[in-house]
Structure 1
Amino acid sequence: MSKDIKIKKGLNIKLKGEADKTLSKAPRSRTFVIRPSDFHLVTPKMVIKEGTSIQAGDTLFYSKNDEAIKFASPVSGTLAKIERGAKRVITAVEIEADTQDSFKEFGTTDVASATADAIKERLLESGCWPFIKQRPYDVIADPETSPRDIFISAYTTAPLAADVDFSLRGKEMELQAAVTALRKLTDGNVHVTIAKSGTSPFEGLKDIELHKATGPHPAGNVGTQIAKIAPVNKGETVWTVAAQDLVIIGELLLTGKFNAERVVALVGSSVKTPKYYTTRIGSEVSTFMYDSGLSEENVRVISGDVLTGDEISPKGHLGFYHNTVSVIPEGDDYEFFGWNKPVFNKVSTTRALTFSWMNPNKKYELDTNTNGEHRAFVVTGNYEEVFPLDIYPLQLLKACMVQDLDQMEALGMYEVAPEDFALTEFICISKQPHQKIIRNGLDLMYKEIG
């Protein structure tokens, strides 16, 4: 029997360009790129050199802080280039792909009889471990710890985010293998949250504690769900896994192959025919973006959703954790006296010359314009309207800015991740980078407290 979660605070940002429920196979990408910056606080140490032939699942690099955490190639081919930045820091690993993949064999795993240590070892050696993140700090999980619980969100509420139920259709066998394996890694429960309406592939699975959620964004954020089910206290650790990553983990255990396949939603008002594509982690987004076509040239391409994703070039590559590519107009034009006239074409939580509250179901074609410059951080009381966690968001942000560790602890820093502040950043009249502030605060705590 499921347990219901009802979120009242939040904001649904309805945008034009939702993906049609049709799935196509993306053209084969010529190159694939893995960026170490996708793995926060990981310093990579290369295992192979440029020009080396590799198979899908071969280790590209490992973490200098923990050599057991390995990062695998999503395809077979040749390691074409290792890009380096300042102080020779590795910024990207580029693979020139074969026309067809060959896989490194890891051997199948009987998840019903396997021990927790055996499962952990298989996930580490195959490169699947980076799919598991931990809270506090929102970093790759420490394999030496045992989590209190594991949380999985199969409910999406972010603007134009990929529909999990559609993406995971027909993958029940892989999902069951993955959650059964994860259940052995914790003394607590594997909590899975799905939408209250609709049909989810997680319904009927064993070894999970099922929850059904309703409410506006950020009801689909795993951090919101953790806060409603079992909040993280000081001294506790929980793990989180994205729903699509379970398929890769499950397939590894069932077949012995690291198959880094992704169902990606190409969305946004600048896309002519938004829909879903089957591709792989690190693929060139242009392979499917131009297949659907763009309605304009001056666009911003985002790997991820519009609130938390990363800006990339049109010839860029899909991020390691992303299953959405958003393409929206570039906001580099400005309205004359835009601050001093009624606004009908933008989303706002206030009613000062804005009228989006009168049309709650209207879909908008928003661009990247911030509609204002960076300014003093003022108290408005607006953040609390869209922030469902039992935390004071403004006070926590300011504690991070002044690096007050005691206040950060007291105000609930252990519970949050940058994505939990995406909405407060969206409505911030001071144009403060909330997600960056929280990320810097978490990094400080990790360094000072660990």
Structure 2
Amino acid sequence: MSKAVRLKKGLDIKLFGEADQVKVEAKKPTMVALKPSDFHGLIPKVILKEGEEVKRGEVVFYDKYNKDLKFVSPVTGTISEILRGEKRRILEVRISASSTDEAVHVNPIDPSSISREEVKSTMLANGLWPFIKQRPLDKIADPSVTPKAIFISSFDSAPLAPDYDFILHGQDQFFQHGLNALAKLTDGKVNITLNGKGSPDECFVNAKNVVINKIVGKHPAGNVGTQIHHFDPIDKGEFVFTVNPQDVVTIGKFFAEGSYDPTRYVALTGSETEGRKYYKTIIGANVESIVKGNLTNDNVRVISGNALTGEAIGEKGFLGFYDAQITVLPEGDDYKFFLTDGWLAPGFDKYSSHRLFPTWLMPNKKYRLDTNLNGEERGFVVTGEMEKVLPFDILPMQLIKAIMVNDIDAMEQLGIYEIAPEDFALCEYVCTSKIAIQEKIREGLDVIEEECM
């Protein structure tokens, strides 16, 4: 049965630099990369060597501890470099794209006509399974478990987030095909959550074989974790799978056409950019093909993802596997004179969630914010600010402290099975301690996985 929820907590950070709703073809990237760091906990086993040729959809590496979990190339080309870090840890597998496009093909399949195991084996063998993540732990879903439900958020409420209604317009057939495949993986329902404030695209509204819910509120209303918490909370021993809307289309295209299609629309956003549009590119693309010529100055931070949870990758870095947004912000490492731009400035162009500046009287004002922390790490004390932005029935301060002291019983009682680092991004933003709270949440989830799963 459909449900509707109105959130009372949350925070919308209104940044300048939203992408115009115009789709353009990005310059074909000459280099792409598969980054194991995009898949938390993965230990990759590379099966191709540097210099070897690879087809689009061909397996490049698999999980060392689960050989069925495979990762495929998004392009036809050559393995140009396997970049390693400390202790020979694989950081990136870089693939030089060729001018030709030769893909691994299978016969098209109607997922509605085959069994759960056949859908699962098809997805695992062809590199589609990594698109599915799970709660608890917020990592690639365990193929051996059956989730009680699957959740898809039709919108993103993060700062400057891409508009999935715009991106998926006209993709109804492939989206439905992907939903049919996902429906085979659960004994429960596939849930699509709509933004109750807007007019969702018909590809979401007309979806079949799903439960459609609505949610209204500020960020993190668009986070799938918020939606799971309010519509179908997770207890210990239960699992919920989550999938991004664009990835549902990728899954659907494979079953409909028989080949891996890594196409992804990426929104170029941020105050330090020009040409802010939706660029058609591919998963793992070198972002230089998008940001080159579109930066307004050199002292910027290029982020794969949004300003709250994304990863700094630089102008020549590679798009994250799950990202559909590139955000460019001022670096914020320049000196600020304390009377005009510093701590004694009146703050007519500054934003604060604590109402420190007069701009709180202008609720629709957009800001050019930089990456400066404006302070150092300090005491982690009770302020009550995190509780205002976290729309969960969870005590955030107590949970974070339980993680810091490695109190597993307290972590379980305080709701760690329901959360992911992204759910605490706003808590990190408003917390005066300057502590990396998302990292603390990840550390707690790692402990739970090792000790309790």
2:384 aligns with: 381
What does 1:171-320 correspond to in 2, within 5 Å?
171-196=171-196, 197-200=198-201, 201-291=203-293, 293-320=294-321
Distance in 2, Cα, partners of 1:147 & 1:128: 17
What does 1:4-403 correspond to in 2, within 5 Å?
4-196=4-196, 197-200=198-201, 201-291=203-293, 293-337=294-338, 338-351=342-355, 353-403=356-406
Equivalent residues of 1:25, 1:278 under 8 A apart: yes
Residue 18 (structure 1) shift: 0.3
* Equivalent position amino acid for 1:397 in 2: I
Residue 313 (structure 1) shift: 1.3
* Equivalent position amino acid for 2:371 in 1: T
- Output one character per residue of 1:42-63: Cα deviation in whole Å (capped at 9) or x when no partner: 1000111111111110000000
* Equivalent position amino acid for 1:223 in 2: G
Closer, same or farther: CA 389–334 of 1 in aligned 2, 3 Å: farther
* Equivalent position amino acid for 1:47 in 2: I
Name the TM-score, length of structure 1 as normaliser. Answer: 0.98
Identify unmatched segments of 5+ residues in structure 2: none
- Output one character per residue of 1:299-336: Cα deviation in whole Å (capped at 9) or x when no partner: 00000000000001101111111000001111102434
Identify unmatched segments of 5+ residues in structure 1: none
Distance in 2, Cα, partners of 1:223 & 1:207: 22
* Equivalent position amino acid for 1:294 in 2: L
1:414 aligns with 2:417: yes
Equivalent residues of 2:3, 2:231 under 8 A apart: no
Distance in 2, Cα, partners of 1:222 & 1:162: 15
Distance in 1, Cα, partners of 2:316 & 2:354: 38
Equivalent residues of 1:183, 1:207 under 8 A apart: yes
Secondary structure of 1:94's aligned partner: strand
- Output one character per residue of 1:243-295: Cα deviation in whole Å (capped at 9) or x when no partner: 1111110000101111111000000000012111000011111101125x211
Secondary structure of 1:226's aligned partner: helix
Distance in 1, Cα, partners of 2:284 & 2:185: 28
Distance in 1, Cα, partners of 2:28 & 2:83: 23
Equivalent residues of 2:135, 2:240 under 8 A apart: yes
The Cα RMSD (Å) is 1.1
Secondary structure of 1:69's aligned partner: strand
Equivalent residues of 2:57, 2:260 under 8 A apart: yes
Equivalent residues of 1:50, 1:80 under 8 A apart: yes
Residue 428 (structure 1) shift: 1.2
Residue 344 (structure 1) shift: 2.5
Residue 345 (structure 1) shift: 2.2
Distance in 2, Cα, partners of 1:430 & 1:129: 38
- Output one character per residue of 1:160-187: Cα deviation in whole Å (capped at 9) or x when no partner: 0111111111111111011111111101
Residue 2 (structure 1) shift: 4.5
Distance in 2, Cα, partners of 1:58 & 1:346: 49
* Equivalent position amino acid for 2:94 in 1: E
Distance in 2, Cα, partners of 1:165 & 1:309: 22
Distance in 2, Cα, partners of 1:224 & 1:340: 37
* Equivalent position amino acid for 2:354 in 1: T
Equivalent residues of 2:112, 2:184 under 8 A apart: no
Secondary structure of 2:384's aligned partner: coil
Distance in 1, Cα, partners of 2:307 & 2:15: 10
Equivalent residues of 1:106, 1:126 under 8 A apart: no
Residue 340 (structure 1) shift: 3.8
Identity %: 49
Residue 397 (structure 1) shift: 0.7
Tell me how many residue pairs correspond in the alignment: 448
Residue 424 (structure 1) shift: 0.7
* Equivalent position amino acid for 1:249 in 2: I
